[in-house]
Structure 1
Amino acid sequence: MGAVMLQGTGSDVGKSVLVAGLCRALVNRGLRVQPFKPQNMSNNAAVTIDGGEIGRAQALQAIACKVEAHSDMNPVLLKPQADRTSQLIVHGQVRGTLGAGNFREARGALLGAVMESYGRLRQRCDIVVVEGAGSPAEINLRAGDIANMGFARAANVPVILIGDIDRGGVIAAIVGTKAVIDPADATMIRGFIINKFRGDPTLFEDGYRQIETLSGWQGFGVIPWLPATARLPSEDAVVLEKPQATDHRRKLVACPILPRISNFDDLDPLKLEEGLEVRMIPPGQPIPAEADLIILPGSKATIVDLKALRAQGWDIDILAHHRRGRAILGLCGGYQMLGKRIADPDGIEGPAGTIEGLGLLDVETTLTPIKALRAVSGMALGARFDGYEMHMGETTGPDTERPLVLFDDGRRDGASSADGIVMGSYVHGLLSDAAQRRALLARFGVEGSGRDYRASIDTALDEIAASLEEHVDVDALIALSAACAL
């Protein structure tokens, strides 16, 4: 065996979920499996066992494989921090900043790093399941590509193309991909899968055969809509743009969607609580006055996002919420915003300077070039937690004498206001533990369900794997993986 790669006709067609589901299906068959994404672009990331960081989707796929997340699973990670610049992470560590002007040249030079990681993964398992990025049909980005066909050809990995029928135009999307890509790239694609099908699949039989005829590629299956996907953490900010239902019978947790929002999956465990409605607030809308808790999430560019928060008038909403005596929780960048000021003397996020914070915590933050990346555990709000740190900055001040978090190694983290209404911490994953959520929710009259968030993810992965076994020719995919050169 060797490897198989899932690429898509576009973003948000379900590649990440299908890679995770296929990984779990193969593991359930007794195979040793590793996930791999050569290049990712996301501000949702996770800390790895070797002290690095990778995209959140690859961390989820590691869970699907029942292995520890490792930086080799996503050797190149781009974290957008402005409209034209991204922080470059290579093998889990900050390598610098890429701008639009040097992006293509720089990424082409990273193919060696990608192949090093891929080679190490191949030695650890029976099969590597690879995820592409965006679409191979973006032929304007083909030169220097390491995310899709550039990698597939360098590693001789066969490709399956994923089409999303829910968004419409799936026949044109798949056949059109064949029409526009380089013929040598097209030979790497061995087949296609139709994803997110609703209704009677027999109604699509003619379309399925027409795709096979027009593209010359084999169909490997039609996957129905997978409700279990909603229980998995999402990496792509596209999900934040989708409309949300409201339920005024439940307590409301509100989270503003800032331009450089990161690690917003920190809020996902709250969705397990039946007594809560978690509402992401898009630009142009006020933070509801009826909110019981406001959470300010992580940010890849804290100063930029704090300016955007003020431009939206959300600072006024947050201060009014505080005057009403209602709770506020800041996580990572959100924690920094709650303080009196944020200083960036070295210009880490942009031009050097200082900005006034919201002033709800008596703390100050100085951004530093050293990035904290580590798994952590300890106590917060009287309950145990396991999580991770991922931040650039040091926060000090009187309110840190009331830390939110006590780590097992004796360190302290975060801060609380004297009245306990405002809290902040650098810890991601703080709300994943049921006891931790219960302690937080008790502060505003909600009884926590005690549901295990990690077990919920694991169950969802098994459900998705079972659906793939039913609707996809997994045996053929395993056989196809053997075509990959050693």
Structure 2
Amino acid sequence: MARAIMLQGTGSDVGKSVLVAGLCRAARNRGLTVRPFKPQNMSNNAAIAGIPGANMEGEIGRAQWLQALACGVRPTVHMNPVLLKPQSDLGAQVVVQGRVFGEAKASAYGALKEQLLAAVMDSWRKLGEGADLVIVEGAGSPAEINLRDRDIANMGFATRAGVPVILVGDIDRGGVIAALAGTHLILPEGDRAAIEGFIINKFRGDVSLFDAGLSAITRFTGWRSFGVVPWLPQVAHLPPEDAVALDRRAAAGTDVRLRIAVPMLSRIANFDDLDPLGSEPGVEVVFVPPGRALPRDADLIVLPGTKSTVADMGFLRAQGWDEDILRHHGRGGSVIGLCGGFQMLGRLVRDPEGHDGAGGEEKGLGLLDVDTVMAAEKQVRGVMALSVAGELPISAYEIHMGRTSGPDCARPVALVEGRPEGATSADGRVWGTYLHGIFTADAYRRAFLAGYGVQAASAGYRERLETALDGIADALEQHLDCTGLFALAR
């Protein structure tokens, strides 16, 4: 097996994913062959990864895709063997080693532990082959001791695999000393012994002002400090792991040439499709939370993906967003639908057997002359497409369960292996597609923005990701004891 270390957090959204990505890039820059690993992830932001030896593709969390990029390796499903995709308040679709395993209510999830842990350990063994170092990311917090008996994501994995743990605390949210000391207090002795030290993340200002805080944490816990990471501006250029980050997205500033409104659906998925647009100068992507109207000054409305289209169509109506969208279109505005959002733009969405949530059917917005029926088989694949407008290359991927058809499909958005994909309204102001990542294609994005009078940045989207990862790695080398961290690996 490869040597390994694991980052766990005092809670969700403390920055584990970014730190793992940065450490992966730092280790790679030191000449190590490094791999990321997350035993279990819960996110509707999924990416495509290969299934080794099967000539197939499957789903992993978007964060593990980014971490693989930081390592300079192709992502595989073994980097995130268990992916939970919430499709209701009480249940989730369970994806194991890239393929749909089934659905599970939260109350029944514990019964699956042994099966899922077996898959986790199988992927763990396979991922380590040929690697010098594996950097593991936990999920949530090990302090959720009420879930310890069913845990495969934090200490349940670390103690089983014998991997040393570094605990990450987020000082920006406050209470970081109590969070770390409290975690130490309530963990059982075996779990506590697995923790070798801690990292303070997202510090703003003079780091020396927290010297007494570091001493206090060590006094309460006996754990070693590996350093304090400042607030990193490069993080804004990386795709977030899940929707927790959406309400903290910063505005583009005052010089806005194109304002895009995106309703935050209850099961919003793959909203990182909008990141390449939001990272462009003069473009503002506004994620509108429930209870607020879509802004009247939006130039464009984009309906994002969703893990449960039928349920979120009802949710959209409950917010009054359907009326906002129809008024926007009536004023001459444009509307785009991506994946589940594409399905919502049609006349009807049917899920008679509950393949994508609770099931049933909902009338769509009727802006596209198409209908969608959910199917049992999930389409999961990477594709090379050619845009109909301008014949520009698009490297994208599909993750969906629906099959969409109707007259407007005769005006496709792109051609995939010569076959039409997507649909466009007769007036050209409404279109939808199943292609995730369509805006990461630099030439296509530039042409799209030019249609709104916006000049895109000269640097490509992937180039900006690479630059951000390099910047984060450099900052971690400066502010953390990376040599000490990597030396812990066993």
Q: TM-score, normalised by structure 2?
A: 0.96
Q: Secondary structure at the match of 1:458?
A: helix
C-alpha separation in 1, matches of 2:358 and 2:127? 39
> Which residue among 460, 469, 479 is the counterpart of 1:461?
469
> Which residue among 111, 129, 132 is the counterpart of 1:105?
111
C-alpha separation in 2, matches of 1:68 and 1:318? 39
Q: Secondary structure at the match of 1:82?
A: coil
Q: Secondary structure at the match of 2:23?
A: helix
C-alpha separation in 2, matches of 1:350 and 1:385? 30
C-alpha separation in 1, matches of 2:434 and 2:69? 23
Q: What is the aligned partner in structure 1 of residue 441 from structure 2?
A: 433
Task: Spell out the pairing of 1:169-318 with structure 2 (5 A cutoff).
Answer: 169-242=175-248, 244-245=250-251, 247=253, 249-250=255-256, 251-318=258-325
Q: Is 1:45 paired with 2:54?
A: no
Task: Spell out the pairing of 1:45-194 with structure 2 (5 A cutoff).
Answer: 45-50=46-51, 51-194=57-200
C-alpha separation in 2, matches of 1:150 and 1:454? 35
Q: How far did 1:167 drift? A: 1.1
C-alpha separation in 2, matches of 1:324 and 1:412? 29
Q: What is the aligned partner in structure 1 of residue 352 from structure 2?
A: 345
Q: How far did 1:277 drift? A: 1.2
Task: Spell out the pairing of 1:324-363 with structure 2 (5 A cutoff).
Answer: 324-363=331-370
Q: Secondary structure at the match of 1:403?
A: coil
> Which residue among 392, 397, 418 is the counterpart of 2:406?
397
Q: How far did 1:365 drift? A: 0.5
Q: Deviations over 1:347-369 (max 9, x none)?
A: 21344432211000011111001
Q: Which moved more, 1:110-119 or 1:98-107?
A: 98-107
> Which residue among 397, 417, 425 is the counterpart of 1:417?
425
C-alpha separation in 1, matches of 2:145 and 2:19? 24
Consecutive unaligned residues of structure 1, counting only runs of 5 or more, are: none
C-alpha separation in 2, matches of 1:152 and 1:48? 24
Opposite residue 401 of structure 2, the aligned amino acid is M
Q: How far did 1:166 drift? A: 1.0
Q: Secondary structure at the match of 1:446?
A: coil
Q: What is the aligned partner in structure 1 of residue 22 from structure 2?
A: 21
C-alpha separation in 2, matches of 1:367 and 1:272? 33
Q: What is the aligned partner in structure 2 of residue 322 from structure 1?
A: 329
Q: How far did 1:412 drift? A: 1.9
Q: What is the aligned partner in structure 2 of residue 8 from structure 1?
A: 9
Q: How far did 1:248 drift? A: 5.8
Instruction: State whether residues 252 and 283 of structure 2, in contact with CA within 8 Å, keep that contact through their aligned partners in structure 1.
Output: no
Q: Deviations over 1:153-194 (max 9, x none)?
A: 000000000011111111111111010011100000000011
Opposite residue 369 of structure 2, the aligned amino acid is D
Instruction: State whether residues 3 and 132 of structure 2, in contact with CA within 8 Å, keep that contact through their aligned partners in structure 1.
Output: yes
Instruction: State whether residues 10 and 142 of structure 2, in contact with CA within 8 Å, keep that contact through their aligned partners in structure 1.
Output: yes
Q: Deviations over 1:30-58 (max 9, x none)?
A: 10011000000000000112301000000
Q: Deviations over 1:354-391 (max 9, x none)?
A: 22110000111110010111111122232221110110
Q: How far did 1:246 drift? A: 6.6
Q: Deviations over 1:317-341 (max 9, x none)?
A: 1111111121111000000000010
Q: Secondary structure at the match of 1:207?
A: helix
C-alpha separation in 1, matches of 2:259 and 2:319? 20
Q: TM-score, normalised by structure 1?
A: 0.97
Q: How far did 1:249 drift? A: 4.4
Q: Deviations over 1:182-228 (max 9, x none)?
A: 11000000000111111111111111012112101111111111110
Opposite residue 415 of structure 1, the aligned amino acid is A
Instruction: State whether residues 108 and 145 of structure 1, in contact with CA within 8 Å, keep that contact through their aligned partners in structure 2.
Output: no
C-alpha separation in 1, matches of 2:479 and 2:81? 31
C-alpha separation in 1, matches of 2:275 and 2:360? 34
Instruction: State whether residues 310 and 359 of structure 2, in contact with CA within 8 Å, keep that contact through their aligned partners in structure 1.
Output: no
Residues 413 and 450 of structure 1: CA distance in aligned 2, closer, same or farther (over 3 Å): farther
Q: Secondary structure at the match of 2:449?
A: helix
Q: Is 1:472 paired with 2:480?
A: yes
Opposite residue 75 of structure 1, the aligned amino acid is P
Q: Secondary structure at the match of 2:367?
A: coil
C-alpha separation in 2, matches of 1:469 and 1:353? 53
Q: Deviations over 1:235-272 (max 9, x none)?
A: 12111122644756422110000000000000000122
Instruction: State whether residues 43 and 300 of structure 1, in contact with CA within 8 Å, keep that contact through their aligned partners in structure 2.
Output: yes
Instruction: State whether residues 348 and 361 of structure 2, in contact with CA within 8 Å, keep that contact through their aligned partners in structure 1.
Output: yes
Q: How far did 1:108 drift? A: 4.0
Q: Secondary structure at the match of 2:415?
A: strand
Report the count of equivalent residues.
481
> Which residue among 403, 406, 415 is the counterpart of 1:406?
415
Q: How far did 1:450 drift? A: 4.1
C-alpha separation in 2, matches of 1:221 and 1:276? 36
Instruction: State whether residues 402 and 417 of structure 1, in contact with CA within 8 Å, keep that contact through their aligned partners in structure 2.
Output: yes
Instruction: State whether residues 434 and 450 of structure 1, in contact with CA within 8 Å, keep that contact through their aligned partners in structure 2.
Output: no
Residues 168 and 351 of structure 1: CA distance in aligned 2, closer, same or farther (over 3 Å): closer
C-alpha separation in 1, matches of 2:393 and 2:421? 14
Q: Deviations over 1:433-468 (max 9, x none)?
A: 221112222333323334311110111000000011
C-alpha separation in 2, matches of 1:267 and 1:351? 27
Consecutive unaligned residues of structure 2, counting only runs of 5 or more, are: 52-56
Opposite residue 411 of structure 2, the aligned amino acid is R
Opposite residue 327 of structure 2, the aligned amino acid is A
Opposite residue 340 of structure 1, the aligned amino acid is R
Q: Secondary structure at the match of 2:50?
A: coil
Q: How far did 1:103 drift? A: 1.2
Residues 22 and 307 of structure 1: CA distance in aligned 2, closer, same or farther (over 3 Å): same
